[in-house]
Structure 1
Amino acid sequence: MKKIFAVLLSLTLIIAVFAGCSAKSGGTKVRVASKDFTENEIVAEVYALALEDAGIEVERVMDVGSSVIHTSLTSNEIDLYPEYTGTGLISILNLDPITDPDEVYNTVKEEYEKQFKVTWLNYSAANDGQGLVIRTETAEKYGIKTISDMQKYATELRFASQGEFDERADGIPALEATYGKLKWKSSKVYDNSLKYEVLANDEADVSPAYTTEGRLTEEQFTLLEDDKQVWPPYNLAPVVRDEVLEAHPEIAEALNKVSAAFTTENITALNAKVDIDGEEYTDVAREFYESIK
């Protein structure tokens, strides 16, 4: 009887030890997700590499649809992913645009905690926001550097519209409310995927763009400065479920270090390596991570 009791006691102690280890480690892998476009895949992969370096087991859940990824986070299907402050403010919280980056960040941080039990870690300088791209040749011809400059010469410029941009509240209406009427020389609708070819072929001069698109690294294109800040910032930051952060507090230090390394310029260059040079996003992410370790 004593032997049986001793065996049972030993088994109990072993189970307790393993249970303690499981609780300490969180018991499961941390699920790092990305949205379904190049930039988000690269950033999510860098997050995953940083967490693995911190001793955290990671499961990668890539290419989640942008329209469902927030719901996936709040329904415990994923644990963290790269998000944009402007997206959180406008698309998730349905709040009015704010132009100050710190104010946008503080607003989404507070509201996500209240509403979703989700933490925004530090935001990076990388801003993937709305913008306008102009042919460099055209910009140099008229001395155009800012959207204010562009508005003055609109009657000389051919606009490559994307249809909905003409009507969207944050499109032409917002531009005209801030910068004045845009009386283009001509305006024609093109598919978004064709805009850089249209500009390169001298079929148009100006088009809507996002500020970290890889082709902006080409000298023939120039991103105009939004000098009156009509568009809110879309700074990149990790969003993490509180429960996961409590189980793995080391996540914050690892990912905040990564965020400090991202800029609009280097994110644009990383996108170009994938979208223009044809490199794999995993290789690009690893090369970048190794450079900031």
Structure 2
Amino acid sequence: MKRFLALGLLALCLMVSIVACQGGGERIVIGSKNFTEQIILGEILAQQIERKTNIKVDRKFNLGGTFVCLTGIQKGELDIYPEYTGTAYGAILKLGAESDPKKVLETVQGRFERDFQLLWTKPFGFNNSFAMVIRGDDARKLNLQTLSQAANYTPKWRAGFGPEFLNREDGFPGLAKAYNLKLVSQPKVMDLGLLYRSLQAKEVDIVAGSTTDGLLSTLDLTILKDDKRYFPPYEAAAVVRRETYQKHPELREVLDQLGGLISDKTMQELNYRVDGKKEDVKQVVQEFLKSK
């Protein structure tokens, strides 16, 4: 009887071992919000971990907005997700608008660890902030590089904005005050997907886009420098559960290797390949990481 029991236990152990080899072992879950750039960043994090460690990664991308991901990581349903410092500072911590990137980063790092037991990686290197964009021809003809310079010409310009930018705290009302911007008429409110098309068609002369919009890498458009640093910084980085780092200490160095790796221009190009050219996100990310 004892012999049969021992053999049974041995068989059970072998089965558990086989299952572990086939699909068990250490796993972490990476989430993302529901837009292209977030899915790309989530895939970069996943492939970086798979390339550099033996940890298996489950992907839960396209989940929804900021608070869906925040709730998921607080509940332990996610281990990591990409976030932006300005979103964390203003929307999550409700601290208003702040233009100093260093202050914003240090504040969100400290408060996230204290309040949520969440840690930030080194920023990836790009800033997904608002961008005031004009035609390249106009920028060259008028020798315009900054918003302060453009303010001399905006009284003759028409503007196109998304609904959010027209009304939000860090949007047009504050921008107009900071730069004394005047326009020939009330800004046109339009769908975000139409902004650059309308600018090219000369239906408007200045639009509010994003510094990492994919189309900016392909069109003859110019981002005006925010020389008064009005817009809050939205530096991208990964947010990680403290327990996940404690369980997998090797992750800290692996994820920090992504620090400073992605410029605004690079993020524009990655967004365009996935969003504009409809390339497979896994292939795009694989090629990007190999190139680095």
Which one is further off, 148-157 or 112-121?
148-157
**2:171 equivalent in structure 1:** 171
* Structure 1 residues 145-224: aligned runs within 5 Å: 145-185=145-185, 187-224=187-224
**1:60 equivalent in structure 2:** 59
Q: In the alignment, is the contact (CA less than 8 A) between 2:98 and 2:104 conserved in 1?
A: yes
Mapped partners of 2:225, 2:209: distance in 1: 12
What's the CA shift string for 1:16-53, capped at 9, x where partnerless? x98xx9xxxx9651001111111111111111011112
The one-letter amino acid paired with 2:47 is L
Gaps in structure 1 of 5+ consecutive residues: none
Mapped partners of 2:155, 2:218: distance in 1: 26
**1:142 equivalent in structure 2:** 142
Mapped partners of 1:260, 1:170: distance in 2: 26
Q: In the alignment, is the contact (CA less than 8 A) between 1:154 and 1:185 conserved in 2?
A: no
Number of matched residues?
A: 282
Q: In the alignment, is the contact (CA less than 8 A) between 1:38 and 1:281 conserved in 2?
A: no
The one-letter amino acid paired with 2:130 is Q
Mapped partners of 2:59, 2:165: distance in 1: 34
The structure 1 residue matched to 2:48, chosen from 50, 54, 57, is: 50
Instruction: Compute the TM-score of the two structures, normalised by the length of structure 2.
Output: 0.89
* Structure 1 residues 238-253: aligned runs within 5 Å: 238-253=238-253
Mapped partners of 1:45, 1:52: distance in 2: 10
What's the CA shift string for 1:249-291, capped at 9, x where partnerless? 1111111112331111211111111122221212111111111
Q: Secondary structure at the match of 1:223?
A: strand
Q: In the alignment, is the contact (CA less than 8 A) between 2:160 and 2:195 conserved in 1?
A: yes
**1:286 equivalent in structure 2:** 286
Q: In the alignment, is the contact (CA less than 8 A) between 1:30 and 1:59 conserved in 2?
A: yes
The one-letter amino acid paired with 1:95 is L
**1:275 equivalent in structure 2:** 275
Shift of 1:213: 0.4
Gaps in structure 2 of 5+ consecutive residues: none
Provide runs of 4+ in structure 1 moved above 6 Å: none
User: Identity across aligned pairs (percent)?
Assistant: 35
Shift of 1:98: 2.1
Q: In the alignment, is the contact (CA less than 8 A) between 2:88 and 2:108 conserved in 1?
A: yes
Mapped partners of 1:115, 1:266: distance in 2: 33
Shift of 1:243: 0.9
What's the CA shift string for 1:216-252, capped at 9, x where partnerless? 1124211111110001111111101111111011111
Q: Secondary structure at the match of 2:177?
A: helix
The one-letter amino acid paired with 1:34 is S
Mapped partners of 1:282, 1:182: distance in 2: 45
**2:87 equivalent in structure 1:** 87
Mapped partners of 1:163, 1:99: distance in 2: 22
**1:37 equivalent in structure 2:** 35
